[in-house]
Structures are given as structure tokens and as C-alpha cells.
């Protein structure tokens, strides 16, 4: 089945130690998104790629970076994680951007900071 | 920034009852979607309603949209324990990909 896969499901890192989360998709969708979701809150969009074009949200901290080396993979890099970065990180894809395109989500990576 | 606000924040019902969740938003939209999220999982798209539509059905789901009141409702009929999840509305204006999620309604269906 075509899907969005996030690895790992659970990630523990130390305060200030860089961490990378990964996402892959077999849907061949043009757009890939990264969301941060804290407990009982709405998913918050960090950035998205439309093909190779990177679109950063205005309030996404500089500590968060992303790479999309090809259509299938997208990475979220947190350069110096702080305690406030502990959250669920969700990757999603859509065929196109906007216009009511449904997004397809992976099951997320839960990040803990020690 | 968050666009939609769902209410109630939490809803607990018995299996077989209907569940209604509401979403209000602040600015004009082109599309509104509803998603479900089971605990510890990703979101799953349920239904899309466009700004020129007033009502849509999908199985046991019924969605309404009132653009004059800037609100939408999701009705789940004959609820099942498996419907226990958080439900989010998400709105977009059509261009770019400015889709924003509300804070969600946590639905518990007791067997």
C-alpha cells in the first residue's frame, strides 16, 4: 500500500544534541510537510517542500531545518534541541499544494529530550 | 497560526449515540477538511467540503458548512467504540498551501 513512513517512531536525545527525523513516501506526491504537535494541541506547520522549493513558516525557529534530497524522502533536523522541542513530529504529503488537497500523514515520531 | 476552533474540546458518549462536533474559523476560506487522529497515530483525512457546498455525506459522517457564520459541524451517527479519537478541522484559502488546523475535539465512545 502506498504510504508515508516515519522513522523512528520514538526518539530520545539529549539537550543540545542534534537529531534528525526521517520521512519517506511511496505516493509520489509533490508536497511534503513537517508538523510539530504537542500534547492535546493542533498540529503546527513548520515548513513544507513543493517539489524542491522550500517554504518556511514565519514563526518556525531557526533551530529547525529540513532537507528533501529526492521526491521520496524528507528529513527534519533539529540542530540544538531544547526541552520545549519535545513533541510529536508528523510528516505529511499531498499531491499538490492548497486548493483542498487532502494530506496523508505518517504515524509520527515522538521526540523526548533528556 | 491556528485558524479553526473546535468545540467541545472533549465529548463523551455511549455507543450508538450520535456525536456532533463544531468548528469555527476567523477568515474567509475556500475549503474545509475534517481529520481524525487516533491516540499516538497520524491524522487521517475524513472529508472535504468546499465553500460553495453546504452539506456532504460519507458513510456515517455528515458535514455541514455555514460560510455566513464561519462554522462547520461534523456529525457521526450511530457511533462505535472505534470512533474514539481526536477530530480536527482544517481550513485553507485555496492558494499556496495555507492550511491551518483547529485544536480538535477529543471524542470518547463508551461501549
Tell me the chain A residues in contact with residue B104 when contact means C-beta distances shorter than 8 Å: 40-42
Distances (CA, A) of A92 to A5, A18, A51, B43, B93: 9, 22, 13, 9, 19
List, for residues A83-98, the tens digit of each pLDDT value.
999 999 999 999 988 7
Q: What is the pLDDT of residue A100?
A: 82
Q: What is the pLDDT of residue A99?
A: 77
3-state class (DSSP) for residue B83:
helix
Main-chain dihedrals φ then ψ at residue B82, nearest 5 degrees? -70, -10
Q: Do B40 and A103 lie within an 8 Å CB cutoff?
A: no
- The set of residues, in sequence order, having a beta carbon less than 8 Å from that of A28 and lying 6+ positions away, is A71, A72
| CA pair distance A51, A2, nearest whole angstrom | 18
List, for residues A3-44, the tens digit of each pLDDT value.
999 999 999 999 999 999 999 999 999 999 999 999 989 999
Q: Residue A26's CB: how many other CB atoms inside 10 A?
A: 12
Amino acid at each position: 500500500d502506498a504510504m508515508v513512513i516515519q522513522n523512528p517512531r520514538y526518539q530520545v536525545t539529549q539537550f543540545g544534541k542534534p537529531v534528525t527525523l526521517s520521512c519517506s513516501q511511496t505516493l509520489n506526491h509533490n508536497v511534503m510537510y513537517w508538523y510539530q504537535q504537542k500534547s492535546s494541541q493542533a498540529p503546527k506547520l513548520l515548513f513544507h517542500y513543493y517539489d524542491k522549493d522550500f517554504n518556511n513558516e514565519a514563526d518556525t525557529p531557526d533551530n529547525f531545518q529540513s532537507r528533501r534530497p529526492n521526491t521520496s524522502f524528507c528529513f527534519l533536523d533539529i540542530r540544538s534541541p531544547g526541552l520545549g522541542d519535545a513533541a510529536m513530529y508528523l510528516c505529511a504529503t499531498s499531491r499538490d499544494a492548497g486548493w483542498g488537497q487532502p494530506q496523508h500523514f505518517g504515524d509520527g515520531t515522538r521526540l523526548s529530550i533528556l | 497560526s491556528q485558524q479553526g476552533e473546535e468545540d467541545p474540546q472533549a465529548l463523551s458518549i455511549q455507543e450508538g449515540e450520535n456525536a456532533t462536533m463544531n468548528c469555527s474559523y476567523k477568515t474567509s476560506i475556500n475549503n474545509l477538511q475534517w481529520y481524525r487522529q487516533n491516540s499516538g497515530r497520524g491524522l487521517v483525512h475524513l472529508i472535504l467540503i468546499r465553500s460553495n457546498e453546504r452539506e456532504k455525506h460519507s458513510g456515517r459522517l455528515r458535514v455541514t458548512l455555514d460560510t455566513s457564520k464561519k462554522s462547520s459541524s461534523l456529525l457521526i451517527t450511530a457511533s462505535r467504540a472505534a470512533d474514539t479519537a481526536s477530530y480536527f478541522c482544517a481550513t485553507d484559502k485555496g492558494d499556496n498551501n495555507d492550511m491551518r488546523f483547529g485544536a480538535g475535539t477529543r471524542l470518547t465512545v463508551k461501549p
